[in-house]
Amino acid sequence: MSDEARQTGKAKEPRIPGRLASLRRRLDPALRSARTHIAGGIRRLAAGPGATAARDIRAAFAHLFQSPHLGKISLAGLATLYLLSGVFVVNPGEEAVVRRLGRVIRPRVGEGLHYRLPWPFERADKVNVSEIRREGIGVSPPEHGLKLHPPEEIQVLTGDENIVNLKVIVQYRVKDPADFLLRVDYDANPLIRSAIKHALTVVGAAAQVDDLLTVGRTELQRVVLAAGQRTLDEYRSGVQLVNLTLQEVIPPKEAADAFRDVASAREERAKAINDAQGYRNSIVPEARGKAERMLREGEGYRADAINRARGDAGRFTSVLDEYRRSAGENGAEVTLYRYYVEAMEKILPRVRKYVVDPKGRNERVNIRVVEPR
């Protein structure tokens, strides 16, 4: 097609102001050159073998190269693709950090469909904040795979000047994606290992070896977890420690026999204490029951003695009153004699009786005993 025909068929284009017009002026020569080379290649393909297929291709796409709006369409398509490159998706359990020219503008973008300015103006980095990750000290978690060097062990000097070897597994997750990306980089494991080692060294120096080997292990785990979290927070690592487990607390090989002897003695002591507590638990309730029974019997005897004493006192008081009333009429002797007779009636039936003649006469005495009716 000649320049005259191209000028005749060219429609009047609207004026494009600003940066787009400048960009178009720079892209139009490149687009014209590309169109010319593509058209020439199709013509050369049509002139050689397989000209029939080439003619078909040229017939199908020739109208595109003859269109006066090809530059606009290409530019609009490229601009659309460039703008759509800023669309990104945050999956469930993830959060994204959006940075503009390196500065964080949106530190926590939740799940869903979002948009940012295309590269190189903005970028979005996604971090899995729901995943529980693991790191080992003295032991390598299975998910870390095989390593060239064995895991580094840690030895702790306790407060009673003993040395123990520790193997620790710590679980963590990302709590602040921005701090995790910008301050920890891609690998948080070295920082976590250093924080836990520091906490173990400080806390272990104040503990006793017996506590670490027995009942104090749970408390040590809690204190070390809190101390390690404080260290990570000071560095603004964006990491949250979830759990810490002391897998092994063992003495060095050189002192293993001595520690086993101590452990055996500790078990024997615990067994003796348990036996003593069992005996106490069996004997103390029995003794308490016996003491309670004796106390109840004493209280009953006391109440009975008090009641009898009160009854005797009441009878004596009544007799005394009667004696005082009859004292003026020679009734006192009668009253005393009556009580004397009543007392003898109670006593004489229970004893053997002998009658002695005061004059010493050896005479047969006929005593008739009259039984009361």
Average pLDDT over residues 51-55: 59
From the list 177, 204, 203, the residue with the least C-alpha distance to 188 is: 177
pTM above 0.75, yes or no: no
What is the per-residue pLDDT for 92?
92
Digit-coded pLDDT (tens) for 106-135: 988 888 899 999 888 989 999 898 888 888
What is the per-residue pLDDT for 51?
54
Percentage, residues of the chain above pLDDT 70: 68
Digit-coded pLDDT (tens) for 263-291: 788 788 888 999 999 888 888 888 888 89
Q: Is the pLDDT of residue 319 over 80?
A: no
Highest mean pLDDT: which range of 54-68, 149-163, 210-224: 210-224
Number of other CB atoms surrounding residue 212 within 10 Å: 22
Average pLDDT over residues 199-222: 81
Q: Is the pLDDT of residue 368 over 90?
A: no
Every domain of the chain and the residues it spans: 18-78, 87-128, 133-250
**Count of alpha carbons within 13 Å of 8, Cβ hemisphere only?**
5
What is the per-residue pLDDT for 228?
92
Q: Is the pLDDT of residue 18 over 60?
A: no
Query: What is the dotted CATH code of the domain comprising 133-250?
Result: 3.30.479.30
Q: What type of residue is 78? A: L
174: burial class by Cβ within 10 Å (0-12, 13-18, 19+)?
buried
Beta bridge mates, 94: 128
CB 200 within 8 A of CB 156: yes
What is the per-residue pLDDT for 208?
78
